[in-house]
Structure 1
Amino acid sequence: MQKITFQLPVPRYLKKILEIKYGNEYQAKETTLFGMVVINTLQKKSDRKYTFDKMQSQNDYFSITLGMDKAQRNGFQHGQKRAFQLSHLIERNIREELYNACIFNQINYGIEFQTTILDFLTMYDITEDELSYETLRKDFNRYKLKNLHKFK
Structure 2
Amino acid sequence: MTRFLTAIALCTILFSSFAQTEDTSFQIVGIWQEDLPMIASGWSTNYQFFEDGRVNYNHNQMDCGDSIITESGTYTFKKRVVKIKFDSMTLISGGTLQKSTGSCGSEYEIVGGEITTQKYRAKTKFRITQAAPLDDYDYLDRIIIQEVNWFRMAHNPEDY
Instruction: Report TM bin, short chain.
Output: under 0.3
Provide TM-score, normalisation by structure 2.
0.22
TM-score using structure 1 length: 0.23
Structure with the greater relative contact order (CA < 8 A, sep ≥ 6): 1 or 2? 1
Structure with the greater alpha carbon radius of gyration: 2
* Structure that is richer in helix per residue: 1
Q: Which has the higher strand share?
A: 2
